[in-house]
Amino acid sequence: MKDDIRLAAVGDNCIDLYDQTGDAYPGGNPVNVAVYTVRLGGSASYTGVVGDDKYGRLMRQAVAAKGVDVSHLHTEPGSTALSHVTVVNGDRVFGDYEEGVMENFRLTEEDVDFLCGHDLVVSGLWGRVEGDLPRLKTRGVPVAFDCANRPEDPAAEKALPWVDYAFFSNDSAGDRELEDILRAIHTKGPELVVATRGERGSLAFDGSRFYRGGIVPCTVVDTMGAGDSFIAGFLYGLMRGEDIPACMALGAENSSVTLGYAGAW
């Protein structure tokens, strides 16, 4: 079993600003996955861009304080990405998203070389790196991609042929319908497709069989970061050589920790 796990997270970051309280939490899908990987005992880096404002300083300091390598977190003149959030019945509801300097984020050749020195690279729908995934995949580094709840999005469609492990969320489809969705996504390139289903657990498909995962019951304080926690746990298990059911169980366990406090981390 491999112990020296090195995950590279790349793409979007944002400050989650809770409008009801004024609280500001650093986050963003790849950032969260990096932080949760370190929490699990692995090492992780985050490659992206922040603005030269107070939120950019907060992002850099907070991510570094969690033990994540931020040597390839760039700073550009402008505003750090910002998501407005409200909490309704314990569930977070996203409002306006201000992309800021993330709008023009592009990987440099040095960034690509750095990413390829890891065991696995993970990004997501708003990371603006879907066009760079062929460069990573052809250099032999496994790629994971989070399609959020929009696997049909053009960015996801562009990414999927170059992705090894695809994730998305869907808590409304029935079992048969969701199986069909996983089959369809699998035909686009990924060797493994995983859907998170909220309280209904998770479903994975490797091209030959389906795997069903449960949840770890817990008191829900805030759902922010729960899906990213699942992805981090799942990928951590994969990089350690665990089988798919064990990875799903580790994802659920990691998610239950995050559900128990406010904010992503």
pLDDT at 194: 98
Confidence at residue 256, expressed as pLDDT on a 0 to 100 scale: 86
* Mean pLDDT along residues 136-152: 95
Mean per-residue pLDDT over the chain, rounded: 92
Identify the band that residue 54 occupies on the pLDDT scale cut at 50, 70 and 90: very high
pLDDT exceeds 90 at position 107: yes
% residues pLDDT > 90 (the chain): 77
Per-residue confidence (pLDDT) for residue 86, from 0 to 100: 86
Q: Do 177 and 197 meet the contact criterion of CB atoms below 8 Å apart?
A: no
Top pLDDT among 205 and 137 is at: 205
> Which residues, other chains included, contact 168 with Cβ-Cβ below 8 Å and sequence gap of 6+?
146, 147, 148, 149, 150, 151, 156, 185, 193, 194, 195, 196
Q: List the chain domain ranges.
A: 6-259
pLDDT at 262 over 70: no
Asked whether the predicted pLDDT for residue 30 surpasses 90, the reply is yes
pLDDT value for 220: 76
Q: At what angle do helices 29-40 and 54-65 cross, to 10 degrees?
A: 20
Determine the pLDDT at residue 88.
80
pLDDT in tens, 169-201: 999 999 999 999 999 999 999 999 999 999 899
Name the pLDDT band for 1 (thresholds 50, 70, 90).
Answer: low
pLDDT grade, residue 257 (50/70/90)?
A: confident
80-95 burial string, b = 16+ CB within 10 Å, else e?
Answer: bbbbebebeeeebeee
137 burial level (CB within 10 Å; 0-12, 13-18, 19+): middle
Q: Answer whether residue 92 shows pLDDT above 80.
A: no
Confidence at 217, pLDDT banded by 50, 70, 90: confident
Q: Which amino acid is at 111?
A: D
pTM: 0.91
Please give the pLDDT value at position 23.
87
Per-residue pLDDT, 146 = 98
- At 3 the pLDDT is 63
CA distance linking residue 30 with residue 240, whole number of Å: 20
pLDDT at res. 263: 61
Average pLDDT over residues 99-111: 96
Domain at 6-259, CATH class: alpha beta
Is the pLDDT score of 264 beyond 80?
A: no
